Structure 1
Amino acid sequence: MMGPVLAACLLIILSTAWISQANGATCKKDGGVCTCNDQTKNVDCSSKGLTAIPSNIPVDTNRLELDYNKLSSLPSKAFQSFTKLTFLSLFNNKLQTLPTGVFDHLVNLNELRLGANQLKSLPPKIFDKLTKLTLLYLENNQLQSLPHGVFDKLTELKTLEMRNNQLRRVPEGAFNSLEKLTLLQLEENPWDCSCRDILYLSNWIREKKGTVSNIEAAECDGGTKAVLEITEEEAAEDCVYPNTTTAIPTTIITTLASSNDDDIPELPVPQENFQKFLGYQEPDHLPTQPQCLMSISGYLGLMMFFVLISAAILYVIHFLKKA
């Protein structure tokens, strides 16, 4: 009778292994690309060469790390299911823009890391729903300007990192709502101290010096003087900075209006612009090659499991007939 007993044990072992694999799949439905912890609800997808966010990350994830990948864009609904997320890191990717509303569902987020990307601007109201945020990292990007009121809803913010960008000014009242701020890094930006716009920042730094750490490190472009030392006499110009949106120069419009149709040269239209004109849109998410390979391996493993189960059942039936 040892045959049936061994077969039964084999069934138990295989079932336990499959259940364990299924529990892991709850956290690794992307095919095992990420490292997951079911107890802490942490998902680590760092350094995987990802060009898209893995699909089916558990919706109850508390901490999501996507650092050191190759993400160049985010779908607008990338994080809409992660309402329990308290930590999100996209550090060191290739992000050039952020879609409007991409963080709107992260109402419990405490820390957001967007440093070491290629962001040149931020959409208006991009952080408005993140009312519990205490740490925001935007360092080592290419930010040229900030939308008016972009930090107004972040009343719990304690740390704001913006060093090493291309900021020349901040909007009037940019930091007025940040009453709990204790650390602000503004250095390594080309602050334009010849324009009247810098006076808000200069006065704010002077007022908060000793309360908010590191703000004195902000220097005028060229490092000739600290921003907090600028006087109204020095910042006398009413500077107008170029709009970040693409506009057609007025000289071109005038030239085209005064020319005959035959004189207007035929301009090549980039394929991507033509696709946008026709209403073509890229899908929000395409699986990466590692994901496809891991999904195939998952199916093969499942097939092997059923083959072994079938063999074990036949083995039990064979011994029962002999008995």
Structure 2
Amino acid sequence: MMGPVLAACLLIILSTAWISQANGATCKKDGGVCTCNDQTKNVDCSGKMLTAIPSNIPVETTELRLGFNSLSKLSPTVFHHLSKLTYLTLSTNQLQTLPAGVFDHLVNLDRLQLDYNQLKSLPPKIFDKLTKLTLLYLYENKLQSLPHGVFDKLTSLKELRLYNNQLKSVPEGAFDFLVKINLLQLHNNPWDCSCRDILYLSNWIREKKGTVSNIEAAECDGGTKAVLEITEEEAAEDCVYPNTTTAIPTTIITTLASSNDDDIPELPVPQENFQKFLGYQEPDHLPTQPQCLMSISGYLGLMMLFVLISAAILYVIHFLKKA
């Protein structure tokens, strides 16, 4: 009767192993795209050529790295189950827009990196729920303007990097609520010092000089003069920029209304059915095999478990019939 006993033990062991692997399918030790650490709750998906964010990132994750991929668009709810995140980087992707509300559930976020993307604008209130944020990177994008009040809720922010964009001015009061800011990088933007809109920034830099690092580096377009040196006489023109409180002339509204929808370029849509497992591994040891081979090895492992379990079941049935 030892045969059925051994077979039953084997069945229990294999079943336990299969259940453990199934439960850990969101972060397996092999066959996964991302590197995970279940102790530190970190998930590293950097440099994986992702066109969409994996849908099975564990809800306990506190640090999520998605840099150096090919993300061009985000779902508005992609981070809604990750309320424990304190660190999120989307650096070095191809993001052209951010959907409204995409960060609304990240109420514990401390650091957010959006640098080295293709962002031309920001939705109003995009950062309003991030009241614990201390670091925000927006440099190396194509930002042409900022929404009024976009930073008003970031009262804990200490570091804001906006350099290497296409900003000509900022809205009146843009930085007034950044009461803890100690580093603000504004250089390498084409600040238009001929328009009255620049006076708020000029006065703010002059007032905060010596208490906020790097702000003096902001220069007028062409590098002819520092923004903080601009006077009211020099900034005499009433200029109009998008996303400001200044009214848009009727001629511009008419032109926009009559534009052809066919002229609007379509944004590339990521693969909606992107489904790959994550992998629990030490964060310093990224997978070296091709992703496809890694995924195949994971599936083959599951198939082998099924085969062994089936064999054990048949073995038990065979001995029970003999008994």
**DSSP-derived class of the 1:43 partner:** strand
SS for the counterpart of 2:193 is coil
Q: Deviations over 1:278-305 (max 9, x none)?
A: xxxx999712386796777655532321
> 1:130: which partner in 2?
130
Offset of 1:251 from its aligned partner? Answer: 8.0
Q: By how many angstroms is 1:240 displaced?
A: 1.9
State the 1:317 CA deviation: 6.4
Instruction: Give, as a single letter, the amino acid of the residue that structure 1 aligns with 2:272.
Output: L
Show CA shifts across 1:209-245 (max 9, x none): 1111111111111111111111122112221235699
The normalised TM-score by structure 1 is 0.80
Assess if the C-alpha contact under 8 Å between 2:35 and 2:44 holds in 1: yes
Paired with 1:43 and 1:306, the residues of 2 have a C-alpha distance of 29
Q: Go from structure 1 to structure 2 and tell me whether the alpha carbon gap of 1:270 and 1:146 turns closer, same or farther (over 3 Å shift).
A: closer
The answer to whether the aligner puts 1:117 opposite 2:117 as a matched pair is yes
Contact 1:75 1:284 in 2 (8 A): no
- In the other structure, the counterpart of 1:279 is none
Instruction: Work out which of the two has the higher radius of gyration on C-alpha atoms and give 1 or 2.
Output: 1
The correspondence of residues 205-244 of structure 1 with structure 2, limited to 5 A, is 205-241=205-241
Query: Judging changes above 3 Å, is the alpha-carbon distance between structure 1 residues 308 and 30 closer, same or farther for their aligned structure 2 residues?
Result: closer
Q: How does 1:1-323 map to 2 (within 5 A)?
A: 11=11, 14-15=14-15, 17-27=17-27, 32-241=32-241, 269=262, 286-288=272-274, 298-315=298-315
CA contact (8 A) 2:55 2:275 kept: no
State the TM-score, normalized to the length of structure 2: 0.80
Mapped contact 1:54–1:287 kept (Cα < 8 A): no
Q: Which has the higher contact order (CA 8 A, sep 6+)?
A: 2
3-state DSSP of counterpart to 2:25 = helix
1:106-129 CA distance string (max 9 Å, x none): 111111111000000001111011
For structure 2, the 5+ residue unaligned runs are: 278-290
Number of residue-to-residue matches in the alignment: 303
Tell me, in whole angstroms, the C-alpha distance in 2 between the residues paired with 1:270 and 1:209. 45
Q: Which amino acid is the alignment partner of residue 169 of structure 1?
A: S
Judged with a 3 Å threshold, the aligned counterparts in structure 2 of structure 1 residues 112 and 271 are, in CA distance, closer, same or farther, namely closer
Q: Structure 2 CA distance, aligned partners of 1:192 and 1:200?
A: 12
Name whichever of 204-213 and 228-237 sits farther off: 228-237
Deviations 1:1-32 (A, max 9, x none): 98778757755664564355335324359972
The AA in structure 1 aligned to 2:142 is Q
- Say whether the 8 Å CA contact 2:54–2:275 is kept in structure 1: no
Q: Which runs of 5+ in 1 are unaligned?
A: 257-266, 274-281
CA contact (8 A) 2:220 2:227 kept: yes
- Post-superposition CA distance 1:242-282 (Å, at most 9, x none): 5699x9867879xx9xxxxxxxxxx8947988xxxxxxxx9
User: Once the two structures are superposed, what CA deviation does each residue of 1:14-60 show, in whole Å capped at 9, x if it has no partner?
Assistant: 45643553353243599722111111111111111111111121122
Report the RMSD for the aligned CA atoms in angstroms.
3.6
- Cα separation, 1, equivalents of 2:30 and 2:235: 55
Amino acid at match of 2:206: R
| Structure in which a larger fraction of residues adopt helix | 1
Identity of aligned residues (%): 76
Residues 51 and 270, structure 2, Cα contact 8 Å, conserved in 1: no
Q: How many Å separate the matches in 1 of 2:82 and 2:21? A: 23
